[in-house]
Amino acid sequence: MTTFDDRERAYETKFALDAELRFKAEARRNRLLGEWAAGLMGMQGDEARRYAMTIVTSDFEATGAHDVSSKLAADLEGRADEAEIRAKMTELMEVARKQVIGENQ
């Protein structure tokens, strides 16, 4: 095996790991967003957890975060606007990323 092959394998492994961590962080962010939104709607306990899972699964409907923000905007009409939702998504992505990285160390 050559150095080039070793290097190529290392890049492929890193790419796969980065993709997995990104997926986990996005799913975590969506759950955290769901919990935040559930709180704004007055949900607690199991109801809030179930709602948070609907946010996680809504991300599988289309590529990108637009499906999540659209669902939240519709559900939170009058409670949070699009700008607030986007800001919360950015904030919680950083929280989720730190949590996932911390779990994988």
Residue 69 lies in a domain: yes
Residue 78 lies in a domain: yes
Residue 4 lies in a domain: no
Model confidence pTM above 0.75: yes
Mean pLDDT of all residues belonging to the chain: 91
pLDDT in tens, the chain (105 residues): 688 778 888 888 888 888 999 999 999 999 999 999 999 999 999 999 999 999 999 888 776 778 899 999 999 999 999 999 999 999 999 999 999 999 876
Residue 50 lies in a domain: yes
- Note the pLDDT tens digit of each residue in 9-34: 888 888 888 899 999 999 999 999 99
DSSP 19: H
Q: Is 87 in a helix, a strand, or coil?
A: helix
The CA–CA distances, whole Å, from 40 to 36, 61, 77, 78 equal 6, 24, 11, 10
Residue 16 lies in a domain: no
Residue 71 lies in a domain: yes
Residue 92 lies in a domain: yes
Tally of domains within the chain: 1
Residues 6+ apart with CB under 8 A from 103: none
- Strands (E) in the chain, as ranges, are none
E strand or H helix at 12: helix 3-40
CATH number, domain with residue 69? 1.10.790.20
76: containing domain: 24-103
Residue 46 lies in a domain: yes
